[in-house]
A and B are shown apart, each in its own frame.
Chain A
Amino acid sequence: MLNWVKILCAVDFSESSRQALEHAADLARRFGAELTLIHVREAPRVAGSEIVSPPELLQEEVRELENKLDEWRIRAEQTASRPVRTVLARGSPPLEIVRAAESGTFDLVVTGTKARKGLGRMLLGSVAERVVREAQCPVLVARRPPDWGD
């Protein structure tokens, strides 16, 4: 009955998205699903204030991200025991993630959170919260290992 054919995992290279990756890869293995990792490079938020970087710096940044994403892909493939795809996007993370989920007809989106201890913990991390709110498919919000203590 469970029919997860395509899983999309959003990664920002943080500890909690490492958890997300592990869950996503494990689920992909368990249910024979195709797994795609997406990293969204944030575009500047304030309109008209885009700092013009020399093209070499931009290319350097993109290359670094591609390398990192590739490292994470390799790790995912070890757990998933199957090929994993990657997507490097640019823009508003929640928007791009939801957009990718919809256009790629994914059955599940997995994401981490930026939640921290104390007051910071009250803030889910707007990316995860917006993805939960706006994605049409189920969303798994992973966290760093259980933090029952406060």
Chain B
Amino acid sequence: MGTFKHILAATDFSEASRPALDLAVSIARDSGADLTVVHTCEVPPYADITLVDLVTPLADVAQTKLDALLVAVRNVCPRTTGVLKVGVAWEQILAVAGEATSDLIILGTHGRRGVAHALMGSVAERVVRLSPIPVLTVRSRVAG
């Protein structure tokens, strides 16, 4: 009990979320846990009712960025899985946690709009509030 075996790290590819990801990688490496990295491509709910496909181009870019990130992560944790989701970040993070039977979620606390470091972003707030499993929050390194 207390040993984390399936870690889920959420990233938005920002510098602010690096400390959380780095920590997840360190814990996974040091404890031998599986690591899943999830990125949520956030699109508004009305994106799927337009005549032009707005989602695919965005998701493609996100997938490319995720793949690049995974190359670096797999140098340290070879068995890392990457997951790209489209939708609302906090919902998708919790969905992936369920799918991957994670026992720990790690994410940064920063807001997506680069808000001052004293505040907490709504994604972290929602995930911490609603997660049925432990959550580890990590501040961004942004000096302030």
CB-CB under 8 A from B124, the residues of chain A are 132
Task: State which of A22-30, A46-54, A91-99 sits at the interface with chain B.
Answer: A22-30
Bound: A138/B135 CA distance, A: 10
Say whether A129 faces chain B, with CB atoms less than 8 Å apart.
Answer: yes
- A140 on interface, CB distance cutoff 8 Å: yes
In the complex, A116 has a CB within 8 A of chain B:
no
B128 touches A141 (CB 8 A): yes
Q: Are B1 and A141 in contact (CB-based, < 8 A)? A: no
Given contact pairs A79-B2, A132-B124, A146 touches B129 in the complex (Cβ within 8 A) = no
Q: How far is the CA of A2 from the CA of B26 in the complex (A)?
A: 6
Task: Answer yes or no: B31 CB below 8 A from chain A CBs.
Answer: yes
Q: How large is the interface on A (under 10, 10 to 19, 20 to 34, 35 or more residues)?
A: 20 to 34
> Counting CB contacts under 8 A, is B17 at the interface?
no
| Contact status of A132 and B103, CB under 8 A, knowing A23-B2, A141-B128 | no
CB-based contact B129/A129 at 8 Å: yes
When the two chains form their complex, are residues B137 and A138 in contact, meaning their CB atoms are under 8 A apart?
yes
Interface residues of B (CB under 8 A from A): 1-3, 22-23, 26-27, 29-31, 98, 103, 109, 118-120, 124-125, 128-139
* 6 nearest CB pairs, A to B: A26-B2, A2-B26, A22-B2, A147-B132, A124-B129, A138-B138
